Amino acid sequence: MTSEKEWQLTVQKATALLENEDWSAAAQLYRKAIESEKRVPILYAGLGEALAEGGKLEQAIAAYQTALELDPGDVESLFAVGDLLFELDEDDKALEYYRKLISHPEEAGEALARMALVYASRDEYGQALELLQQAREFDPESAFVLNGLGDVYVALGQPEQALASFEKALQLDPEDPHILLHLGDLQHDMGNTANAERLYLQALELQEDLADVHLALGHFMLDEEQTEKALKHYRRFLELEKGRDSQDLLKEVAAVVEGLETELGRSSKK
């Protein structure tokens, strides 16, 4: 058995490795600490984070579940398991974990919002809207909740309500690139191309490696007949997108890139 000071030092070292995106080394460090100290939930939660970031989602869930066996009130692990199950398309199990968080007043708003994401993914927008409205009662100043509301209003064909939600979310969190992206998409759909481009580029300044922003800019530049710029962003999207369920989309974008490259090649020969 290690001393508390020793495993705390392990957590510090592993956290530094996670910040440097060295997922494998962080996981190895946590596993080594667990061999000596098997009753410390933070070690299992840390292992879960390292495994999840490294794409080993099932193993990550198992690590987080051990953390929860040792500390059932660990809200971060509850959220993490719910999110991982949702990513694995195990919606009903994800909802079970989110529901456990509703009894925590400080977490209820976000838990309800994440439940809403599950229902929205099923195209059950009425249920999603109801949950998000409940979430606002718990946390009226949550940019995350307002961004979710905007997405649902877009799906329901209510652009004005969506616009108000996104703009309020952006006021609360002006440096969230996802809000900027969603607001840009809406402005693009509403024909406000100058606003859309500004918002997309602002999102890119905040997080250059966000694949969805490059995809949106690819579509935008293609609509604006700026083929070379569209190609640049489509290629960057193909480099960055690593989602487990993105294979069909990657094939579609790759086909678009091939077609645009052929078109540009023909134009250069004329």
Among residues 37, 72, 107, the one where a domain terminates is 72
User: Residue for token digits 């599950």?
Assistant: 118
Among residues 72, 102, 134, the one where a domain terminates is 72
* Tally of structural domains, the chain: 2
The CATH code of the domain that includes 8 is: 1.25.40.10
Give residue-wise pLDDT tens across range 3-56: 667 777 888 888 888 888 899 999 998 998 888 888 899 999 999 999 999 999
| Domain-located, residue 245 | yes
| Domain-located, residue 185 | no
| Domain-located, residue 242 | yes
| Domain-located, residue 195 | no
Among residues 40, 72, 104, the one where a domain terminates is 72
Question: Cα 248 to chain center, whole Å?
Answer: 19
| Domain-located, residue 38 | yes
| Domain-located, residue 33 | yes
| Domain-located, residue 91 | no
Domain that holds residue 238: 211-270
Give residue-wise pLDDT tens across range 201-259: 999 999 999 999 999 999 999 999 999 999 999 999 999 998 777 889 999 999 999 99
Stronger pLDDT, 266 or 252, i.e. the higher one = 252
Residue 227 near residue 260 (C-beta atoms within 8 A): yes
